[in-house]
């Protein structure tokens, strides 16, 4: 049975495609790519059909990740097929939990940085869109740091399903 994870930010052109690309690489490195499906979406549809922001693509590719992406908007009906919905900041967390059709679906929504023990109380990944390239580099560092803990959680869930 496939375990499905979806990363969600505002427009699905900066943070969530970055998280999707990094986590997909981590899943493949762990040999779980046949068991875990990774994708991303935005809370809004402003950029639907667009590629990722060029700064996202260049930062990803410079660090050895895939930059290919097409933006789309998160749909409440997806909760049925998703196991985990990863919000990039507390605003997305609240919006997604409001969209959730049931308390069980709302419980699937988590903040990405909650998987990074070094994050402390600051669990938001800041939106780099209106800033310079350094914001995209910082975003990548936060995503990579949290991906280790997230992978451990997903591995535990996948191995639990297989048992």
- Indicate which residues carry an active-site annotation: 9, 15, 127
Residue-wise burial string across 34-53, b where 16 or more C-beta atoms lie within 10 A, e elsewhere: ebbbbbbbbbeeebeeeebb
For 18, 143, 157, the CA distances from 66, given in Å and listed in that order, are 9, 15, 25
Q: Across the chain, which distance is largest between two alpha carbons, in Å?
A: 47
User: Among the residues of the chain, which ranges form H helices?
Assistant: 15-29, 54-62, 90-99, 103-106, 133-162
Torsion, Cα 122 100 43 121, to 10 degrees, reads: 0
């Amino acid at each position: 049975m496939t375990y499905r994870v979806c990363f969600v930010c505002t427009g699905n052109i900066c943070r969530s495609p970055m998280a999707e690309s990094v986590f997909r690489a981590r899943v493949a490195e762990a040999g779980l790519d046949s068991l875990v499906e990774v994708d991303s979406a935005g809370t809004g549809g402003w950029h639907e059909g667009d590629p990722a922001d060029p700064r996202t693509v260049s930062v990803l590719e410079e660090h050895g990740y895939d930059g290919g992406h097409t933006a789309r908007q998160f749909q409440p009906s997806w909760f049925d097929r998703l196991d985990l919905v990863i919000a990039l900041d507390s605003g997305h967390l609240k919006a997604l939990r409001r969209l959730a059709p049931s308390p069980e679906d709302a419980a699937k929504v988590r903040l990405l940085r909650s998987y990074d023990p070094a994050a402390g109380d600051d669990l938001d990944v800041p939106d780099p869109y209106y800033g310079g390239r350094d914001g995209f580099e910082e975003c990548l560092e936060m995503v990579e740091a949290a991906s280790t803990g997230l992978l451990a959680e997903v591995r535990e869930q996948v191995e639990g399903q297989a048992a």
